[in-house]
Amino acid sequence: MTGSGTTAPTRNPWRQLAVSLAAATALLTAAAVAAPGTAVASRRSNDVVAAARAAHVTDAARKAAATVYARHLLTRLRLPDGSRRMHWKRVAGLSPSLAAILSDVVDKRALFHAPEPMTALGRYLQAHAPAGMTVSSFGSDSDRGKTVAKTVTFSPRHLPAGIYSAMLVTTFKPARGGASLLRADAQVAWYPPRGGAVRIRATDYKSVTVTRARADGRDRTARTLTGKRLARLVAAYNRLYGAPDVVISCPAEDARTIVYRLTFRPANGTRTVVVTPSSCLFVGVTIGGQPEPALYPAAAMITAARRALR
């Protein structure tokens, strides 16, 4: 307990977080050995096999890291002096609205008793964001014109590798004696595996054709690239994550919508890879004509395509 408030007790969270994230990063690094470039050109085929095997355990490693990170975020919560953590139970009126993430997400929660009234507690939370986080939103719930609960949400300034999103949501309402009950939810989502949209090697491809056109086929521009330019686009594709399972609103598309397509043509028996970044976050992929799970983020692939067409 300090003059600036209390934090939830923990057992060396920084060490746990560092170990889990280090394990996840090591697996991610191993899974990326198939990335293109001069160093990759000399790698043996068994390195690619090892990378593929490592990719299968990446999701488990990221889930473990996300779980530790969520617990870590809970420990960073700053509450007024005299606050105490309670045995977890569901409390009517303390059900926060969390992000529309359907899978690949963990939610670690805790219940606290704070000595401050609800309004004062809200002001305190907004003025005491956890270390490394900022207030991303705040609001209140009303019943017949009376405020019955308030919410303050914090977001990290920076996310660890492999983490898609994270937030710390506090929801609180009045308790007896002018105090407050507060529920804290640390929700962390990680990137899922790439699945069949496997990473590729630049040395297995002779060229890539980048096209830009309206959805109706007008204003078509195309350019075929080889060598280092091919390798750079392979690298951009290999850096993409598996697409997170989220609910989003996409802009309406029509005949004027700009569509990019990158077609990687094989130099040997490797299958043709077609990459189509959309205007709605995700990247479509087909390998040998077979649709594969979408990748993320589309903006990175669109930027790479634009540069290639300059």
Domain ranges of the chain: 6-16+65-190, 194-310
CATH, domain range 194-310? 3.30.1490
Q: State the pLDDT at residue 55.
A: 47
Q: State the pLDDT at residue 100.
A: 76
3-state class (DSSP) for residue 115: coil
- Residue 57: pLDDT over 70: no
Q: State the pLDDT at residue 58.
A: 65
> What's the pLDDT band for 6 if we cut at 50, 70, 90?
low
Percentage of the chain surpassing pLDDT 90? 64
> What's the pLDDT band for 3 if we cut at 50, 70, 90?
very low
Quick one: CA dihedral 281, 287, 288, 292, positive or negative?
negative
Average pLDDT over residues 129-152: 92
d(CA 296, CA 302): 11
Q: What is the mean pLDDT of the chain?
A: 83
Q: What is the pLDDT of residues 101-118, one digit of tens each?
A: 878 899 999 999 999 999
> What's the pLDDT band for 171 if we cut at 50, 70, 90?
very high
**Got the DSSP string for 142-170?**
EETTEEEEEEEEEEESS--TTEEEEEEEE
Average pLDDT over residues 176-203: 94
pTM for the full predicted model: 0.74
Q: Which residues of 199-217 are buried (b: 16+ CB within 10 A; e: fewer)?
A: bbbbbbbeebebbbbeeee
Q: Choose among 37, 48, 52, 31: nearest CA to 235.
A: 37
Q: Which residue type is seen at 188? A: V
> What's the pLDDT band for 169 if we cut at 50, 70, 90?
very high
Q: What is the pLDDT of residues 221-239, one digit of tens each?
A: 999 999 999 999 999 999 9
Q: What is the pLDDT of residues 79-97, one digit of tens each?
A: 999 999 999 999 999 988 8
Going along 13-119, which residue ranges are E strands?
78-79, 84-86, 105-114
Q: Whole-angstrom distance between the N-terminal and C-terminal Cα of the chain? A: 59
Pick the CATH number of 6-16+65-190 from 3.30.750, 3.30.530, 3.40.50, 3.40.1130: 3.30.530
- Residue 22: pLDDT over 50: no
d(CA 239, CA 170): 34
Q: Which residues of 77-103 are buried (b: 16+ CB within 10 A; e: fewer)?
A: bbbbeebebeeeeebeebebeebebee
